[in-house]
Amino acid sequence: MHRSFALVALAASGLFASATVASVETITVCESGCNYTSINAAIDAASNGDIIQLSAETYTEGVVINTDGKAITLLGTTDKLGTPTSILDGVGQHQVLSCITNESSTTVLRNLYITRGSIKSGGGGLFVQNASPSVVNCHFVLNSSFVGGGLTTDGSSMSLDGCRFENNHSGVGAGAYFQNSSVTIHECTFSGNTAAIGGGGACCRRIGESDNPISHTFTDCTFIGNTAGDSEEMNTSSGAGLLVDSCSAGLIDCRFTGNLSYGSAPALSIGTSESEGETGSAVIYDCSFCANTSIPSNPVQLFGDYQALGAGNCIAASCDDCPSPVEGDLDGDGVVDAADFIHLRELIGVEALGCVAADINGDGNVDGADFAYVLGYWGLCSAP
């Protein structure tokens, strides 16, 4: 009797599980042969948990794509290198994406190439207000707006993982502008962005009163080749890499290289707004700041209230003076290759050590395992 009941219960649970799985649908969107040709139409038809699968093509929706508060995944495709090939193009006429209806981390934007979004206010590429979506491996390229050309957040605790912000333009925070938010940014690159006032790569800012702490965490991020200001308005810009204004930020294993400010603090500027009455601050740990410049010339790359923790921070005029953060890159050229092996031999004195010098993994044998260790790191490394 008990055994029969158990079998019935097990069968029922299996049916329930099957029904649950079946309720999650993948909705396809492409020019021809898919469920929909419009992304917004697919979102309208989607239910919580659904996946909207895009193709490797360019989507010109003609209006803002709004996730409408739904717990869905907007999923693009990538090439072999992981670069998004699903292109959302605002053609310079409108904002590309918005999350403004209390979306949580269960709303996911993944593998999207967001480009040519334009709006007079904020967030030419993506605007997030009072919502906290998860954004993974999205590229924000050639977007523009008054603030946050690539991305603007307002009242958000969203996360960014593995994203790129390239060649975006705005007045403040050209790559990304985080207002009254607490955002987690991991393995993101801010490159070639231009802000007329400050925060070429990104800007974190508190405006008005807020009951919540306004704090941001950047982990393993790169700020390279960003610009703040221009030659006609010198001495007024700051923070070409990152501007932290009246809030706090934590920087861990981040790199600031080749940023240019027509004013001051080309790498990192921490400011305090007298009108807001809040103090800006930052903590840096194992970060490098090198080859960042100001016009007129000023050797100071960081300005404001910051605390440097640990012994791994490097602030130098030349990147040759900062140790390489790439494992296996012994000569500091950003590539793990035969030159590093030669450098290692020179450092340890191969002739004196005999075969011990070739025992890379230290197990007492020189064999394929040592060769495999070297091959495991062979090739071009991410830029320091």
Say if residue 267's pLDDT is above 90: yes
Exposure letters 339-351 (e unless 16+ CB within 10 A, then b): ebbeebeeeeeee
Write the pLDDT tens digit of every residue in 92-144: 999 999 999 999 999 999 999 999 999 999 999 999 999 999 999 999 999 99
Q: Any idea where the domains of the chain sit in the sequence?
A: 91-321, 335-380
Least confident of 22-26, 99-103, 122-126, 220-224: 22-26
Per-residue DSSP letter, 19: H
Say if residue 28's pLDDT is above 90: yes
Write the pLDDT tens digit of every residue in 74-91: 999 999 999 999 999 999
| Cα distance between residue 297 and residue 305, in whole Å | 22
| Cα distance between residue 168 and residue 162, in whole Å | 17
Write the pLDDT tens digit of every residue in 277-292: 568 899 999 999 999 9
Check: pTM over 0.85? Answer yes or no: no
Find, among 66, 60, 58, the residue nearest to 42 by Cα: 66
Could you tell me if 88 and 77 are in contact, meaning their C-beta atoms sit under 8 angstroms apart? no
The structure tokens 């930020």 sit at 249
Per-residue DSSP letter, 93: T
Mean pLDDT of all residues in 298-314: 91
Question: What backbone torsions phi and psi does residue 184 show, to the nearest 5 degrees?
Answer: -105, 120
| Cα distance between residue 223 and residue 251, in whole Å | 12
Q: Which helix (H) or strand (E) holds 11?
A: helix 2-22
The amino acid that residue 166 corresponds to is: E
Length of the chain: 384
Q: Bridge-partner residues for 295, per DSSP?
A: none
| Cα distance between residue 384 and residue 162, in whole Å | 16
First and final C-alpha spacing in the chain: 68
Q: What is the pLDDT of residue 16?
A: 44
CA dihedral 197, 218, 260, 91 (to 10 degrees): -60
The structure tokens 């204004």 sit at 245
Question: What backbone torsions phi and psi does residue 306 show, to the nearest 5 degrees?
Answer: -135, 150
Q: What is the pLDDT of residue 209?
A: 76
In terms of pLDDT, which residue wins out, 172 or 361?
Answer: 172
Per-residue DSSP letter, 268: E
